[in-house]
Structure 1
Amino acid sequence: MQQSDDLGHVHFCLFARKISNRRSQEIAYFSYDDEHNFRLDDSSMQYYYPPQPSQLPLDLSAGFETFEKLNDAPDEHLDALLDTIVALEQNTQKKCEADIVTWRGMMTKIVTAPFDMLNGFEMNATYFQGTIFIEENNSYKNAQKEIQKNQRMPPGMPSQDMMAYWGYKFEAVSVIPNAWGETSREKIEGRIHEVVNNKAQYCSVVRTGFGRVKLVLGGEVDAIWDSKPVRKEDPINWVELKTTAELVNDKEKLKYERKLLKFWAQSFLLGVPKIVVGFRDRDGMLLRLEELETHGLPGKVKREGRGSWDGNICINFTAAFLECKINPFNSLYCCVNFYQG
């Protein structure tokens, strides 16, 4: 599917009942280690511990030349997610029931589609034993990345690679591998000098849903605020870490408001309740941090912003889109049409 050029070209109607989305609940997890090897454990889970005010401003460009960067061009398909689901089914002796299984990244693009006028996407889907397995078309994704990478930056602006690194550096200086009481002061203070490696990841697998559609999603989680609750059904205090330019003018404020759409979608899909945004200047100096509650972002945009997106429309659109995918010829309450601009 490719993104329409105009929201007015995406029409959807919902009938019969109000659409709601279920709270995401973790049912399994897995890790990638420092070499990006798959592990059925939580060994790569990180704990949130931000840089102290005395350390700011902090140079997010430091260490760029030694960055251990993951090569994400190869198509990993749904392999790690499916291996984790198979292990879950073997442990519980129950089938993991879902209408759709996919990555959080794929769902984010669907959720934000009504208001994202810049980024297109294509997806592949396979129907097997009552479940639709969806993944992003990797060739299209890589082609779009190459186009973006080759764009000429304005004079004085850093490269796309450098700006991406700033985000990973912010994560590296905001997390520790163990709870605070189990982490040495030397480890905490030495984070700013460590080699940044984005190959290691903790991935949460959650059960969630939109309207009638049951989903199982997998996606990376940046850090945990405290610790996992004893009761598995209780929500987990995950933290999503993001960076953005300091809001020095109206243009940057509008860009930030549009960024909040993706921040919100990524977080609520996995049940991440808190987002920490690191504001930096155009040279990559981290200036300040701000904590945002995921559930409050749609209201914040409506009250304080320009109304560039609406969370209710995103949820209703997603429910309608998914309903028509799992039951395209007998849908009682939705219809979705896409037209190329």
Structure 2
Amino acid sequence: MPPSPFVPPPPDDLFGPDNDEYTRTTPFSTITPADIPAPPPPDYSAHDHSPLRGGPYGGAGGGFGRRGRGGRGRWGRGGGGWEERGQGMGGPRQPSGPAFQVLPANNPNLASMAVLGLRGHHDAALKAAKLPTFQKPNLLAGFSRLGDGTVFWDERCLRRLRPAILGRDGGKAGGDGTDGAAAAAAAVGDSENGFADVLRAMRSVLKHQLAALQPGTSPDRLHFVTFRNNLNKLMGVCYNRQDAWEMGVHKRLGSVYLDVHKTAADQQQQQHKSEQQRRFEFYGYSFERVATEARKTGPGEAGAGGEDSLVIDANEEFCAVLKTKVGAHRVLMGAEMDCYEWVNMPQPSSGPPKPERIFLELKTSLLPETEGQRERFERDKLLKWWIQSFVGGVGAIVVGFRDTRGRLVGVERWSLGEVTRRVKGKDYWEAGSVLTFTDQMLTWLYGSAQEGGDYVLRFVPGQSRLELAAADGCPAFIEQHCQELAAIGIS
């Protein structure tokens, strides 16, 4: 087992003693005291497949940064953002409604099926829905993976933002695409080995928690274990109804493991990338190289200085293992982190600001110049960037804008609050709608999956339909993981 390289999570966990009731979740259940929405059973007397009509998707907020009072690290309705020391300026409790209609799975191969309503805040069925709380992701562990696949349980692959990159107004963001083709093609993404390493870190953390508990007690049960990539898909479908996707769903010992799947279209696209696609990937890898430097262990130490290497290794990464909570759903995820920086955070007392390390997301984009380009950028790209950063606890996004020749023409740093303010009032998307939708989708998914069951969850774009279909089996590394959990007393 790997050592635990990070400090265990604080004892004041927000999860609470609600797991016994949570594990009895069904797609239509009311769970107390946990804040899981409880849609009423649909009426199938007239039509078995008539979608539930709805209107604007509820969820206020949409911006970051307002502080409230109460517990620590929760998403509040009023300000719509990370709250280090508050639950937010939440409104009164409102009745919850369904984000989508759960339909009878007439196909014997389907365990459950749901038809989505209108996109996001346009779905009136959730206009008055209570915005779920969201716990700021807590770093539990992390590991570094070298280009050859070797894993180290430390932060050697976690790089630091090069401060000089901010405000940069020129420079080479990438070559002509030829030099980067090999590096781009070598990227393997969230592999089976990567998820196995996340599970390995999970076991290590649980062992340390178990050792610190009183005899006869056990660590809090995790309800979903996944890579962040799967959460990006689940959350994004609130608005993105164009992209087909699928993932493995395996329920063991009360936890649902979401395994990354590649659709046939994904594999086809990966094998037959155009020269333009390879060039765009290379621009991203090149920007990561020029925007970061070798890591610093503290806010006062000197950085690495010049550009460490001219070689771009797409498979070298630092993966953070994080714990968060959406409503009543406890989630553990692995998430690749691009880099970090030290920032001075204000303290609640009158003391001086305290240095704090935050993760950053690095992105590149063609500089939008026309009204249509700006609309697509804010409606589509900013939504994806916000979801990926928010769910992973990333503090800010550093964007490198390039021209059509791939040259870097500007670099900007945006907090997540700035991202949501850019789309406020434009009717593109709302952060609160995404969270409300995610809470209800996870309720449906957890309640539909049976203990010991293996499934494939897929989204069918043309019909805005989610299908949970029976699968043949479970990956061996997940079965092995559960056996090792049982061996250390977690069952």
Q: TM-score range by the shorter chain?
A: 0.7 to 0.9
Long gaps (5+) in structure 1: 153-157, 330-336
What is the alpha-carbon distance in structure 2 between the residues aligned to residue 116 and residue 2 of structure 1?
18
Distance 1:261 1:55 in 2: 25
> CA-atom RMSD, angstroms?
3.5
For 1:75-94, what aligned pairs fall within 5 Å after superposition?
Answer: 75-76=191-192, 78-93=195-210
Aligned to 2:437: 317
Matched to 1:171, the amino acid is E
Q: Using structure 1 for the length normalisation, give the TM-score.
A: 0.81
The alpha-carbon deviation at position 17 of structure 1 amounts to 4.7
Q: Does 1:162 align with 2:279?
A: yes
Distance in 2, matches of 1:41 and 1:105, equals 22
Query: Aligned equivalents of 2:125 and 2:226: distance in 1?
Result: 25
Give the distance between the partners of 2:113 and 2:318, measured in 1 at CA: 30
The structure with the largest alpha-carbon Rg is: 2
Partner of 2:27: none
Contact kept in structure 2, 1:12 and 1:317, CA below 8 Å: no
In the alignment, does 2:386 pair up with 1:264?
Answer: yes
Which consecutive unaligned segments of at least 5 residues does structure 2 have? 1-111, 212-218, 346-354, 450-458, 465-491
Deviation at 1:295, TM superposition (A): 3.4
- Structure 1 residue aligned with 2:259: 135
The secondary structure found in structure 2 opposite 1:59 is coil
Query: Which residue of the other structure, out of 200, 216, 223, is the alignment partner of 2:316?
Result: 200
Aligned match of 1:302 = 424
C-alpha spacing 1:235/1:321, structure 2 compared with 1 (3 Å): farther
Higher helix share: 1
Equivalent residue, structure 2, for 1:155: none
5 Å-filtered alignment, 1:115-126, equals: 115-126=239-250
Residues 157-196 of structure 1: pairs in structure 2 closer than 5 A? 159-179=276-296, 181-185=301-305, 188=306, 190-191=307-308, 194-196=310-312
Q: Is the 8 A contact 2:256 2:446 kept in 1?
A: yes
Bigger shift: residues 314-323 or 49-58: 49-58
Contact kept in structure 2, 1:239 and 1:272, CA below 8 Å? yes
Pick the aligned partner of 1:217 from 329, 333, 348.
333
Q: Which ranges of 4 or more aligned residues in structure 1 deviate by more than 6 Å? A: 1-6, 9-12
Give the TM-score of the pair, scaled to structure 2.
Answer: 0.58
TM-aligned CA deviation for residue 235 of structure 1: 7.0
Question: What amino acid maps onto 1:36 in structure 2?
Answer: G
Query: How far 1:327 moved relative to its partner?
Result: 2.5
SS at match of 1:72: coil
Inter-CA distance 276–237: structure 2 relative to 1 (3 Å threshold): same
Q: Judge conservation of contact 1:236–1:272 (CA < 8 Å) in 2.
A: no
Distance 1:52 1:16, change over 3 A: closer
Q: Is the CA contact 1:278–1:286 (under 8 Å) kept in the aligned structure 2? A: yes
Aligned letter for 1:299? Answer: R
Amino-acid identity (%): 21
Residue pair 1:228, 1:237 contacting (<8 A) in 2 also: no
Segment of structure 1 superposing worse, 29-38 or 202-211: 29-38
Deviation at 1:147? Answer: 3.6
TM superposition shift of 1:131: 0.5
Give the deviation of 1:148 after TM superposition. 7.3
Report which structure shows greater RCO (CA 8 Å, sep ≥6). 1
Aligned amino acid, residue 324 of structure 1? W
Q: Is the 8 A contact 1:2 1:122 kept in 2?
A: no
Pairing 1:283–2:396 present = no
Q: Deviations over 1:297-322 (max 9, x none)?
A: 2232114xx32212111110000000
Q: CA deviation at 1:2?
A: 11
Whole-Å separation in 1 of the counterparts to 2:205 and 2:334: 13
